[in-house]
Amino acid sequence: MTYRVGAYVWDPVEGRVGEVREEQLGRVYLRPPRGGQEWLAKPKSLRLATKEERKEAGVVEP
């Protein structure tokens, strides 16, 4: 599945929420919601983060 840039997804491999930065060559680049080091994830392992997961990760929603 493809996610739009800026979407918050749950990465079960890392056990954390990431913000989608870009998708390239079958990999998704994620970064922590409050900034920090990006990491690579496989798109098939990702799912949209729940409201609770986003809140716990420090995502401020309007």
Q: What is the pLDDT of residues 1-50, one digit of tens each?
A: 689 999 999 999 999 999 999 998 889 999 999 999 999 999 999 999 99
State how many domains the chain has: 1
Please tell me the pTM assigned to this model.
0.91
Question: Would you state the pLDDT for residue 60?
Answer: 83
The verdict on residue 40 lying in a domain is: yes
For residue 20, give its domain range. 8-52
d(CA 33, CA 8) in angstroms, rounded, equals 8
Q: Cβ(12)–Cβ(50) under 8 Å? A: no
CA distances from 19 to 26, 52 (A): 17, 15
Q: Cβ(10)–Cβ(48) under 8 Å? A: yes
Task: Report the 10 Å Cβ neighbour count for 48.
Answer: 13
The verdict on residue 28 lying in a domain is: yes
CATH number of the domain encompassing residue 12: 2.30.30
List, in sequence order, the alpha helices (H) in 1-62.
Answer: 51-56
The verdict on residue 61 lying in a domain is: no
